[in-house]
Amino acid sequence: MMNKTLKNTTKSISILLITICFWICKITPGQAEAAEWPAEPEINAASAILIEASTGNVIYDKEAKSQRYPASTTKLMTSLLAIENCDLSETVVMSRNAIKSISYDASNVGAMIGEELPMEDCLYAVLLASANEVAYAVAEHVGNGDCDAFIDMMNSRAKELGCVNTHFSNPHGLHEEDHYSCANDLALIMRQCIQYQTFRKISNNRNHTLPVTNKRSEQVIPQTHKILRGRIICEGVFAGKTGFTDQAGSCLVTAAERNGMTLICVVLGEKKDADGYTDTAVLFDYGFQNFEVMEISKKQESKNAFPALFPDDEAFVEKTYANLTIEDTTAVLPAKADFEDITTECRLTQLPELVKGNNVIGEVDFYYGGKEVAKSDIILKSDEDKVIDLAEVYYREYKDTDMFDERTYLIYKGELVVEEPEKPDMRPALIGYGLGTVFCLIILIILVRIYIITKR
């Protein structure tokens, strides 16, 4: 009888304690559910990235800024500079250096010393057949006969595009220790390449016929990118570049469009050529099936948006002379994302006066699920012909009202620097979570001991 009573008591205590443990876990600070991001796929590449082309937003990142050898994906930059600096009808002459600077087993189209080709056909040879000797000749042509000058152009253009871990030492990608890039940077370069219809037209071909030249008859060259060649099916692919060296492994840069959204995928350091295409297809499916481009600036825009953006400065906007808007901003978000889950952080710019037209008075950062998804300028449009002193207007309009705020006044007078908001201290939350976990373990031990006693 005693054992039965003890068992019932134990059962009641267990239910109570489990309920208490659950309650503690639910109210522990910092445990609120965040907006969810789709689960990321597993891939084989050493490093990879998937970005949306119009915004540059990163959808997937695996060691994307880690230094890697780019192999022939280098030729994206070579082609970009040729398109930006030359007419397609210009004649490129194959120099001795161009022909002799590569080994016999490197990718080539068998060009001859002194052979002349139009720039357009050179780009077909570079992008489709990955011809190393032609890439060198293109570099000499764009660099006014100096390949080193062209390499300087490559590195300068990389910096202009925002590349963070790239250094080019040649125009073709054959291995050199100080010739490197990363998935992030190659995506940026491809993003610029596809701005040009010339690049899209040339890249999106299964093969091309080089014309009769002063040295030989016409020649058909095949596409090396197996999706673009039609050997592998992947919906929407319209541009790409392959690459391989023993040191780099298999590399693949690819662009695809589905339902009006364009994505760029880069996979580097693949051990097998087939893995690069498999990973690319997996990442494209992940991106296109789970994400959308959304306009998020509309969420905040109004004639008096300060209450939403700057709760402490709601009194500022004077409707008779100004409109407050946010620069048009789009972001790539999960397809089921709710605008209500987007949070913002704002920073005011110390701007002592307004001029007629648009005045950038701050910046707003948009966050979803703890990740920054977009930035936007906050624009105050003034219709006044004269220069407006913000501090003077604010003081005149609100000095005798309850809405006057000394901090806001000092900001626009230029006497107070607006600091970025401090990040929340997560230590109390972590301590609370830890104590809750320890408490649950202690209760579990007690329950086990009671259970053992009742079995005796």
The per-residue pLDDT for range 276-314, each reduced to its tens digit, is: 999 999 999 999 999 999 887 655 544 333 434 444 444
Question: Distance between alpha carbon 317 and the CA centroid of its chain, in Å?
Answer: 35
CA distances, 228 to each of 128, 238, 286 (Å): 9, 7, 20
Question: pTM score, two decimals?
Answer: 0.74
Measured distance CA(67)–CA(163) in Å, rounded: 12
Please check the confidence at residue 186 and state whether its pLDDT lies above 60. Answer: yes
Res. 110 pLDDT band, cuts 50 70 90: very high
Q: Mind listing the pLDDT tens digit for each residue in 383-411?
A: 665 555 666 766 776 677 665 667 767 76
DSSP of 306-375, one letter per residue?
HHHH-GGGTT---TTTEEEEE---EEEEETT--GGG-EEEEEE----EE-SEEEEEEEEEEEETTEEEEE
Strand-pair partners of 359? 380
Residue 24 is predicted with a pLDDT of: 33
Tell me the pLDDT of the chain averaged across its residues. Answer: 81
Q: What is the CATH number of domain 47-293?
A: 3.40.710.10
Q: In terms of Cα–Cα distance, which of 369, 359, 368, 375 is closest to 297?
A: 375
Measured distance CA(431)–CA(335) in Å, rounded: 35
Q: In terms of Cα–Cα distance, which of 69, 102, 57 is closest to 374?
A: 57
Three-state helix/strand/coil letters over 172-223: CCCCCCCCEECHHHHHHHHHHHCCCHHHHHHHCCCEEEECCCCCCCCEEEEC
Measured distance CA(373)–CA(291) in Å, rounded: 12
Measured distance CA(197)–CA(30) in Å, rounded: 49
Measured distance CA(175)–CA(247) in Å, rounded: 7
Orientation angle between helical segments 2-27 and 427-455, nearest 10 degrees? 170
Residue ranges of the chain assigned to CATH 2.60.410: 302-413
Q: In terms of Cα–Cα distance, which of 162, 165, 187 is closest to 52?
A: 187
Residue 414 is predicted with a pLDDT of: 64
Whether the CB-CB separation of 286 and 267 falls below 8 Å is answered with no
Structure tokens at 273: 């050529």
Residue ranges of the chain assigned to CATH 3.40.710.10: 47-293
Res. 19 pLDDT band, cuts 50 70 90: very low
Measured distance CA(327)–CA(355) in Å, rounded: 18
Three-state DSSP state, 390: helix
Among 2.60.410, 2.40.128, 3.40.462, 3.40.50, what is the CATH number of 302-413? 2.60.410
Q: Give 245's contacts (C-beta < 8 A, 6+ positions apart).
A: 69, 71, 173, 174, 175
Q: Mind listing the pLDDT tens digit for each residue in 425-456?
A: 555 555 665 666 666 666 666 766 666 666 65
Q: Which helix (H) or strand (E) holds 265?
A: strand 261-270
**Tokens 């370069």 belong to residue:** 189
When pLDDT is averaged across residues 225-244 and rounded to a whole number, the result is: 97
Q: Which amino acid is at 284?
A: F
- Better-scored residue on pLDDT, 61 or 389: 61
Residue 325 is predicted with a pLDDT of: 72
Please check the confidence at residue 65 and state whether its pLDDT lies above 70. Answer: yes
